[in-house]
Each structure stands twice: as structure tokens, then as C-alpha cells.
Amino acid sequence: MQKKESMAKWAMAGFALITQSCATIPQGATVIQSFDQSKYLGTWYEIARLDHRFERDLQNVTATYSLNANGTIKVVNRGYNTRTGEWKQATGKAKPAGKPGEGKLKVSFFGPFYGAYNIIALDSEYRYALVAGNNLGYLWILSRDTTIPGDIKQQYLEIAKKIGYDISALIWVTHEK
């Protein structure tokens, strides 16, 4: 009987994990519409992010997006590790994850496992972006330059705060190298 109960607990835990991972955007956030993937390609500078293990101790972070022959997007993330004094780079791929024209992608750096990449704010010239993950633990402010105008920064912080992000926890990335 204990074996059955143990299996039931594992099944419930697995179901909870699956249903949690199905949430692809934080409650209250919406992705942009009329997204033009070709305009999004190129290099973006990370202005701010919430801390997570994949970018721990990184500054001078960039993300470069280019089109693969099969229609997916090649993603190259690069940053300077201030603790080790070495550059770190990860290459992955992204695919559309929403309806056509939505700023909703899924990104993978680890084989078949994908993470949510939700563009929740983007200026009309594709110079500044606010990107959310699947929950309130993932948020990025991106720019085509190493800085962002104060009014855009404030606007994006207000959007993030309204959704429920702890904007005081943002790491402000430097671009010195």
C-alpha cells in the first residue's frame, strides 16, 4: 500500500510541475501584437535583469538574434563574468510560441527544454524592449545601445511594477568592455 501512496504522491508532484510549467507569461502581462520578427533581429544590450543562475556575475551582456536557414532564430548570449574575469557565451534557438504577429517566443539553450520569452513592451522603432519570462522571476530591459533614455526606463519599470515584479531587485548591467 505504501508503494501505491508513494507513486500517487509522485504523480501529483509531476502533475503540479507540468501545470506550473504550462504558464508561459505572468498573470497581468500581455505580449505585444503586430510583432515583426525581422525587425527584432540583431544585437540587443541588456540594461537590467532579475538575477538568475544563468547570468550570475555577468556584466557587458548582449543578446544577438539571427535567422537560421530553417526559420528558427539563432540566439547568442554573451557576457563578461566579473568574478572569473572571463567571457561567457551561450548559443541557443528561439521559435514563435504564440499566434502569428505576437511577441511571444520560446527559447532553448538546453536541448529540448524551452523557456518563455514574452515581449511585453517594445517601441515602434525596435530600439527598446521589455521581456518577461514565464513568471515573476524573469525580466529583462533591453536596448540597441548600451543605455536607455530615462523616460523609456521609467515607462518599462512602471509596466513591470504593475504586473507584480520587484523592480528593486533589478540588476543594472554595465557595459564597459
Going by pLDDT thresholds of 50, 70 and 90, the confidence category of residue 23 is low
CATH classification of the domain holding 116 = 2.40.128.20
When the pLDDT of each residue in the chain is averaged and rounded to a whole number, the result is: 89
The answer as to whether 17 is a domain residue is yes
The answer as to whether 177 is a domain residue is no
pLDDT digits (tens, 9 = 90+) for 102-136: 999 999 998 888 999 999 999 999 999 999 999 99
Q: Is the pLDDT of residue 63 over 80?
A: yes
Give residue 110's pLDDT: 85
Give residue 87's pLDDT: 98
Mean pLDDT across the stretch 20-27?
Answer: 70
Give residue 18's pLDDT: 34
Q: Is the pLDDT of residue 19 over 80?
A: no
What is residue 101's three-state secondary structure? coil
Q: Is the dihedral of CA 43, 88, 119, 165 positive or negative?
A: negative
Give residue 164's pLDDT: 98
Give residue 3's pLDDT: 43
Q: How many domains, in total, are found in the chain?
A: 1
Which residues neighbour 133 within 8 Å (Cβ) at sequence distance 6 or greater? 26, 115, 116, 117, 118, 139
Query: Whole-model pTM?
Result: 0.86
The answer as to whether 70 is a domain residue is yes
Q: Is the dihedral of CA 63, 120, 172, 153 positive or negative?
A: positive
Distance CA 106, CA 70 (A): 16
The answer as to whether 145 is a domain residue is yes
Q: Is the pLDDT of residue 2 over 70?
A: no
The answer as to whether 58 is a domain residue is yes
Give residue 22's pLDDT: 47
Give residue 177's pLDDT: 81
Q: Which domain holds residue 62?
A: 2-172
